[in-house]
Amino acid sequence: MSAYDFDLFVIGAGSGGVRAARMAAAMGVRVAVAEDRHLGGTCVNVGCVPKKLFVYASHFVEEFENARGFGWSATSPDFDWPTLRDNKTREIERLNGIYRNLLVNSGCELINGRATLVDANTVAVGDKTYTAERILVAVGGWPHVPEFPGSEHVISSNEVFYLDQFPKRAVVVGGGYIAVEFAGIFAGLGADTSLIYRGELFLRGFDKEVREFTAEEVAKKGVDLRFSSNIASVEKLEDGSLRATLEDGSVLETDLIMYATGRKPKVEGIGLEALGIEQAANGAIVVNDQFQTSVPSVYAIGDVIDRVQLTPVALAEGMALVRNLYGNQNQKVDYELIPTAVFCQPNIGTVGLTEEQAAERYSNVDVYSSSFRAMKHTLSGSDEKTFMKMLVDADTDKVLGVHMVGPDAGEVLQGIGVALKAGATKAVFDSTIGIHPTAAEEFVTMREPTRKAVKA
């Protein structure tokens, strides 16, 4: 008989925690999961899922307009925010129920409440304590909004999904994918939208040419891009609107200001300091390749370790952890060649190295690129363009990175991610027959490089 109440106690029922808990329980491990908010974590409740639903909604006006060139005529449609908001909420509640059933049916004990670490093998939830041979911290991250005069009047991505009213004017602050995506959502749903970013160009870390192309396309959609700019203060006016004073002295009046200025590990009050668990400067839990913290019985995965903040990465980390602990395996998560997408308008899909990274690591890189107006828009009248790019090591012919800006870029790049993971060369792409007529076939018909990558 074990000396502990559980073999594994999971703190946090987000994507990584739920996957680890279910897999462990299926192996006969006695598992408890503690969660003080909604099941499914950020992704299901205030992240990927509701955001993608809003992205879908924001595309319809453009589609209605594009349809005219194909013979469809219709009066200008009306948008009803409460319908979208409430339908989204019902879908999230349905998913919460599915997560609950998955956990309970797998044999996990689900405990409602905020769990804190007491010692290396003890967790407290409310006035109860539980012991476990191993503890897994999977508490995720939380939006970070800087403090400044009037910061109490702004919202984060947590609140944006539950607005009482949809704004006629909106300001989004930030330069990451959440900021760019929500600028597109607000604009698509009819708000006069500005995006403010303190840097020279948004989406730092992405391929520079992709960033520049995306900025042009986002501006075409009516988003007022204000780079090298920042808000100094916000004042709430008598009519409920907001007046934002920028650092350059200019003023913006708006109905809503959303900050998407990064996320931090949600580690406050969970007892890490009491155990002496090592943390990075931003609070992230430091772990080794086996996701073990400086306290050997305590592990951590997902956004709280701040490696790659993506749901599929948290899932991979959870699966590797359980297989290693309870399946006698020695898996390591490969953080290279992770496909990702930004659901801005148009979408970005990317996998592998940026041109800047490729030029830094390799001495002879060929750049293949293509920019074109998609076939659909020859009739729609839209001036939206699609951009595709491939980076190839000319010495080995290996494809180093592939990038796309255009409709369904994420869908296209998922398959290409498999190809790069398999070590595909440019010759493999060239010998693959395209699907015609599609935009994606461009990736197998780009025969001649447009230039050499140059090291910055």
The Cα–Cα gap between 196 and 50 comes to: 23
CA–CA separation, 8 and 139 (whole Å): 15
At 386 the three-state DSSP class reads: strand
Q: How many CB atoms lie within 10 A of CB 276?
A: 11
In whole angstroms, give the CA distance from residue 363 to residue 30. Answer: 53
Element (H, E) at 116: strand 115-119
Q: Which of 38, 59, 403, 436 is catalytic?
A: 436
Secondary structure letter of residue 282 according to DSSP: T
* Cis upstream peptide for 339 (omega within 30°): no
59 is known as an active-site residue? no
Tell me if 223 sits within 8 A of 211, measured CB to CB: no
**Helix or strand or coil: residue 21?**
helix
Q: Helix, strand, coil: what percent of the chain each, to 5? A: 35, 25, 40
Measure CA 197 to chain center. 18
- As given in the structure block, the two tokens for residue 12 are 């946090």
DSSP annotation of 154: -
Catalytic residues: 436
